Every structure is written in structure tokens, then in C-alpha cells.
């Protein structure tokens, strides 16, 4: 049995709200790496090399305020360390939306590394199954961008419910 996905405009609006935070970000071709280069950069830490975020705080704040205004939300005065909160009601397709957001961020900006943190093993397994079920669906929408999703080994990462996802 093959699932059919219904296009939901509110889900596209949610994806665009996140992706629009990065308007002005140069699209970079990135490769996945956990090995440090000869010269460490700000994108490196003990876990590997992060996506190259090259827009300044002022641009990102303006982007966030534009998204807030477009959605009739109160304006935020600062980025608060670039920590963002995205809220959706139960049953609205949060897993679908953040999976599509990953593909959209890869398409628009070349981001390749994503971590999804979930609160339980049951939710982790549900998310993993969702990735399997939507793989072909998103492949058709995003030019078959090759993606690999996996569950981090909790012996290597302190949080037992961390999920990794990356696009090539």
C-alpha cells in the first residue's frame, strides 16, 4: 500500500516561515564531515563541522521580524542566541513539516546537516518510520536529493534520543 500525501497550504507556510529566516544566506555546496581540517573554524566543534551560516545577526533579525509580521505575531527585539521556537498544534503534521523544511533548507541554502531531538524512544521510532514513508514523496518534490537519515549511537552522544539527518 502506498500513501498519498495531501498538499496542505498551512504546512507550506510553516516551511517558508523557517526557511525565510535565512534569506540572504549564500547557497554553499557542503560536504558532510566529522574530521577537523588543518585550521579549525567557528563552524567546528568536538562533534564535527556545521552548516556554514554566513548571514549577520541584523539580517537574521530583520528576516525573523518579517516572518512574524507576515504571520501577525508580536515582534521580537533580539535573536536570543539564535534559538527559535516553532509551535504547531497536535495532529498538524509537525514531522512532515520539519522533514520538508530540511529539504527546503538544502535546496535554498545548501545546508546538509540536521539534528532532530525527540523526547522518547517511541517518538524516535515514529520519526524514523516517517522518514522511510516520505522518502519517495520528498525525492519527487526535491529532484531526488540523496539523503541519509540515521539514529545516533547513544554511547557516543549523551542524549539517547537524538536523530541525525543529512542531504548530500
Could you tell me if 102 and 114 are in contact, meaning their C-beta atoms sit under 8 angstroms apart? yes
Could you tell me if 124 and 151 are in contact, meaning their C-beta atoms sit under 8 angstroms apart? yes
Name the nearest CA neighbour of 86 among 17, 24, 161. 17
Please give the residue that has the higher pLDDT: either 6 or 52: 6
> Using CA of residue 42, residue 47, residue 118, residue 144, what is the dihedral sign?
positive
What pLDDT, in 10s, does the model give residues 99-120?
A: 999 999 999 999 988 888 888 9
Q: Which residue has the cell 523544511?
A: 101
Measured in degrees and rounded to the nearest 5, phi and psi for residue 154 equal -65, -15
3 state DSSP class of 34: coil
What pLDDT, in 10s, does the model give residues 116-167?
A: 888 899 999 999 999 999 999 999 999 998 888 888 766 664 443 444 545 4
Rounded to an integer, the average pLDDT of 35-39 is 49
Predicted confidence (pLDDT) at residue 28 exceeds the cutoff of 80: no
Give the three cell numbers for residue 59. Answer: 539580517
- Where is average pLDDT lowest: 2-6, 75-79, 81-85, 98-102? 81-85
| pLDDT at position 162 | 44
What pLDDT, in 10s, does the model give residues 42-76?
A: 455 555 667 888 899 999 999 999 999 999 999 99
| pLDDT at position 40 | 46
Could you tell me if 155 and 113 are in contact, meaning their C-beta atoms sit under 8 angstroms apart? no
- Which residues 6+ apart lie within 8 Å of 51 measured at CB? 30, 43, 109, 110, 111, 112, 113
Specify which residues 164 forms β-bridges with.
Answer: 115, 150
Q: How confident is the model at residue 29 (pLDDT cuts 50, 70, 90)?
A: low
Q: What is the DSSP letter of 35?
A: S
Could you tell me if 163 and 152 are in contact, meaning their C-beta atoms sit under 8 angstroms apart? yes
pTM, whole model, 2 decimals?
0.79
Amino acid at each position: 500500500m502506498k500513501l498519498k500525501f495531501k498538499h496542505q497550504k498551512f504546512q507550506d507556510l510553516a516551511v517558508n516561515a523557517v526557511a525565510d529566516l535565512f534569506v540572504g544566506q549564500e547557497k554553499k555546496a557542503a560536504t558532510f564531515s566529522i574530521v577537523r581540517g588543518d585550521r579549525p573554524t567557528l563552524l567546528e566543534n568536538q562533534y564535527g563541522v556545521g552548516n556554514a551560516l554566513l548571514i549577520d545577526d541584523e539580517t537574521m533579525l530583520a528576516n525573523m521580524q518579517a516572518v512574524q509580521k507576515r504571520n501577525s505575531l508580536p515582534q521580537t527585539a533580539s535573536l536570543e542566541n539564535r534559538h527559535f521556537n516553532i509551535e504547531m498544534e497536535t495532529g498538524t503534521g509537525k514531522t512532515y513539516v520539519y522533514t520538508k523544511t530540511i529539504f527546503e533548507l538544502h535546496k535554498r541554502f545548501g545546508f546538509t546537516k540536521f539534528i532532530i531531538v525527540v523526547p522518547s524512544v517511541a517518538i524516535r521510532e515514529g520519526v524514523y518510520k516517517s522518514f522511510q514513508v516520505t522518502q519517495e514523496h520528498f525525492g519527487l518534490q526535491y529532484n531526488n536529493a540523496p539523503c541519509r537519515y540515521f539514529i545516533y549511537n547513544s554511547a557516543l552522544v549523551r542524549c539517547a534520543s537524538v536523530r541525525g539527518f543529512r542531504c548530500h
